[in-house]
Amino acid sequence: MNIMEYIASRGSEIDKEIEKVIPKNKEPKAVYGVIWDLLERGGKRFRPVMCLLSCEAVGGDSKKLLPIATSIEMFHEFTLSHDDIEDNSEMRRGKPCLHKIYGVPIAVNAGDGLFAMVWETSLLLEMPAKKIVEAQRILSDAFRRVLEGQGIEIGWYRNNEWGITEQDYSNMVAGKTGALIAASCEVGAFLGGGKKRQRKILREFGNAVGIAFQIQDDVLNLVGKERTYGKEIGGDISEGKRTLMVIHTLQKASPEDKKRLTSILNEKTKDQQKISEAIKILTKYNSHEYAKKKADQLVKKAKKGLEKLPQTEAREKLLQLADFFINREF
């Protein structure tokens, strides 16, 4: 079984758990029907799978963690529905975004419904109250950091900021994407009975591969295949995002290319010709290759840290997941 087959197999456990909490025929359809429109499009479910694997990597029983793993996926789906609105995105998992189909008010409300159920679902853990509260604290801190990271990124292009460094980008992504993946690993280790050192190792692993995951996502947004990627190619250009590739190009570009790239990003254009022009400038300076190299370095370091844990099947699956993050095409 390759890693994608494994993720699909474990992800089906999460889907079954979600359906226990939100039956597909649940009313009103204006809330739960919209939620299921998003959920049934697929999704990788790797965050909850990483939670379960982290539990197993420290010798725990992952079956007991299905409710908290499910709540992690619900929070992630909530962020997708709201992020698509904030970014005015067109596609999500190969279909029009929820707000494009149902309108912004319905999409916002469905996202809010998912967020409300995050905490309800986490309370289904059959563990001592003290453990549940600590798990919720870990997740709550991660949720805050995700929202802060998203806010920082939106602020950059809303406030027309261009003096952004690679470190600024890494700090932002560590919140926006890394925090939830790191928390997924830490919660799994904590509830699985892991020691503080093991929790730290898994948290740091999750954070590093989370940043690498986002870098690869940024790369795919420029040079991926739309049918495989499931989102519009060049969407980050339309949103004026300051990705690692943009930061690198602005450091290396000629004055003319720098001026043109910033002009197109400032426009937040949907004009495909201009989007293609911006992508051409970014690839001219090999910024996509530079970004992929950075992601590779992060994953190598993350894997080295994880090797401090006992050699188990769960640890090996986590190592395979790390490689998948930087080699994926969707």
**What angle (nearest 5°) sits at the alpha carbon of residue 47, between those of residues 91 and 236?**
30
Query: Which region among 121-135, 146-160, 226-240 has the lowest average model confidence (pLDDT)?
Result: 226-240
Contact 220, 196 (CB under 8 A): no
If you average pLDDT over residues 243-267, what whole number do you get?
Answer: 97
If you average pLDDT over residues 188-203, what whole number do you get?
Answer: 97
Compute CA distances 139 → 51, 68, 143, 176, whole Å. Answer: 12, 9, 6, 14
- Percent of the chain exceeding pLDDT 90 equals 90
DSSP state of 162: -
pLDDT of residue 231: 76
If you average pLDDT over residues 139-156, what whole number do you get?
Answer: 96
Which residues are CB-contacts of 68 (< 8 A; sequence separation ≥ 6)?
Answer: 51, 121, 122, 125, 135, 139, 187, 191
What is the spatial distance between Cα 299 and Cα 261, in angstroms, rounded to a whole number? 30
If you average pLDDT over residues 172-181, what whole number do you get?
Answer: 98
- Percent of the chain exceeding pLDDT 70 equals 100
Q: Residue 227 above 90 pLDDT? A: no
pLDDT of residue 158: 87
Domains of the chain from N-terminus onward: 3-146+158-327 (1.10.600.10)
pLDDT of residue 245: 97
- CB burial string 30-40: b at 16+ within 10 A, e below: ebbbbbbbbbe
pLDDT of residue 201: 97
What is the spatial distance between Cα 175 and Cα 173, in angstroms, rounded to a whole number? 5
Query: Which region among 17-31, 171-185, 223-237, 275-289 has the lowest average model confidence (pLDDT)?
Result: 223-237
28-53, pLDDT tens digit by residue? 999 999 999 999 998 889 999 999 99
If you average pLDDT over residues 194-206, what whole number do you get?
Answer: 97
Higher pLDDT, 194 or 226: 194
| Residue 5: Cβ within 10 Å count | 9
The helix/strand/coil state of 44 is coil
